[in-house]
Chains A and B, each alone.
Chain A
């Protein structure tokens, strides 16, 4: 008898990360974002924007979750939060907060399956991210006002 092929977990995990980012926009910035059509980064690594927050994951599956956004978007987000400090450090902190939200939600929901590392922030000048071999990152565009950020989920095995 043939079994039904139902890889529920991967979709569920992706959904958790997407929801986490959406909630951040709803709660912290008070303006909802929209999830674009996801696709795979097949030929090359996904392009990173000016500021990137990274959450490394190990356990049942190894990999990383990345939130990357342009500087202009982060500046407007800060202004929406009534924050006038638009320095590089402050922008890094904002993208770090989004990564913290991702890691917090992942830790809460996947506490039995994964160990979530402390988030790190990188920017365009840093070395490119190294994704797990033989894994294709899933890129989920996040549209907020007229800006585009990206959520990249890459879990191997």
Chain B
């Protein structure tokens, strides 16, 4: 089972601490207590083991040299036999210490494997930034995938962001925020809302040279290592593209709902003849634009000619929509106009670039169809209302005048 965000929080809790105070340093430190303690214990056990073996051997060697100098070979033989007895007594102790050390080494290796498993299976991107604002080698696999980083170790976080972010202001704000996070006086909780990367739009260039936009959410926590040089900032990045797009879609749906009422008013007020003529012209322009797009084209000049052709069709309709005026239509026409103008400014175009224009053309056609449908309903309602009024009038004229009694 993959770790859930709450598990990740627990992992992150291991590292969050202020950079001041050794007491707090020991309380929350990076790397996690399991791995750090185990590796420390292994080193201590190995040192004790070495001391245990070296001290008696050194003592016996010194004692033997002394005896050899003072009393000759017989005394040395006796001393060596005594030494052998001492070593035989020490042997079980040595083996026990060796076993302990091996167990601790195994524990440390298991802890490292667990950490690697966690980092490998996290959905969230996890990374560590040093005081020099460079990425450390420790990081989750999804971080490399999300930030498109092959080898993050040693790279300046600022450079990583520069390649992703769309504007320099956000980059500068991010660097300032990270520097602020390092300040001993800074309250981590208080400055958290200032994080400029809490939701940020980034751009990646894929293997075909096309640009891919995603929305990422970064969060940062200060962590203290076992030594001051091990201090770092623990960063977490998640891909929130789906969420952001859903929110935008919801906002769009709300805006559309608001505009329906405006559209109805526009259509009620519009001159019916002018409206039908406009809708016919718009339909004609959209079909012509689509025909231009569907015709085959080879090479950049032909692609640009296509764009100009579609732009001309749209410009004519935009002028007509502004004159009538139909605000909802004009707004959508300006949207496609912006897309097409942006494409015209490019020197190199590929088929993918036309996708936004086609999506907007589809929306314009749907909007025109909605307008025509509402207008037809309004015409029917007006006709029905006129017929009812005529019936009422006729009924009133046929009704005989009430007979008034003659006054004598």
Contact = CB atoms under 8 A, between A and B. Distances in A.
A141 interface: yes
A34 B298 CA distance: 12
A42 B368 CA distance: 14
A37 interface: yes
A7 interface: yes
Nearest to B244: A8
A36 B242 contact: no
Interface in B258-276: none
Nearest to A26: B207
Interface stretch (B54-62, B347-355, B381-389): B347-355
Contacts of A122: none
B297 interface: yes
Interface string A5-24: 11111111011001100100
If over half of B's interface residues share one DSSP class (helix, strand or loop), that class is named, otherwise mixed; here it is helix
Interface string A21-53: 010001000001011111110100000000000
Contacts of A26: 207
B207 A35 contact: no
If over half of A's interface residues share one DSSP class (helix, strand or loop), that class is named, otherwise mixed; here it is mixed
A26 B331 CA distance: 39
Which of B242, B366, B369 has the most chain A CB atoms inside 10 A of its CB?
Answer: B242
A139 to B, nearest CB: 8
A133 to B, nearest CB: 12
Contacts of B251: 3
Contact of B252 (A6, A109, A138): A6
A104 to B, nearest CB: 17
B148 to A, nearest CB: 15
A22 B246 CA distance: 26
B245 A38 contact: no
A40 B365 contact: yes
Contacts of A138: 358-359, 362
A9 B287 contact: no
Interface residues of A, number: 36
A26 B210 CA distance: 15
B280 interface: no
A117 interface: no
B248 interface: yes
Nearest to B356: A11
B398 interface: no
A130 B312 CA distance: 34
Contacts of B117: none
A72 to B, nearest CB: 19
B249 A38 contact: no
A38 B293 contact: yes
A38 B255 contact: no
B192 interface: no
B354 A37 contact: yes
Interface string A118-154: 0000000000000000101011110000000000000
Given A7-B360, A136-B365, A38 B331 contact: no
Which of A11, A110, A112 has the most chain B CB atoms inside 10 A of its CB?
Answer: A11
Contact of B355 (A6, A11, A32, A141): A11
B217 to A, nearest CB: 16
Which of A5, A22, A42, A109 has the most chain B CB atoms inside 10 A of its CB?
Answer: A5
Closest 6 CB pairs of A and B: A35-B351, A39-B294, A39-B293, A5-B335, A38-B358, A10-B359
Given A6-B252, A15-B355, 17 more contacts: A2-B331, A3-B255, A5-B255, A5-B331, A7-B363, A8-B249, A9-B249, A10-B362, A11-B355, A35-B351, A38-B351, A38-B355, A42-B287, A42-B290, A113-B242, A138-B359, A139-B294
20 contacts: A2-B331, A5-B332, A6-B248, A6-B252, A10-B359, A11-B359, A12-B241, A12-B245, A15-B212, A15-B355, A18-B352, A22-B208, A35-B351, A37-B294, A37-B306, A37-B354, A40-B293, A109-B242, A110-B242, A138-B358
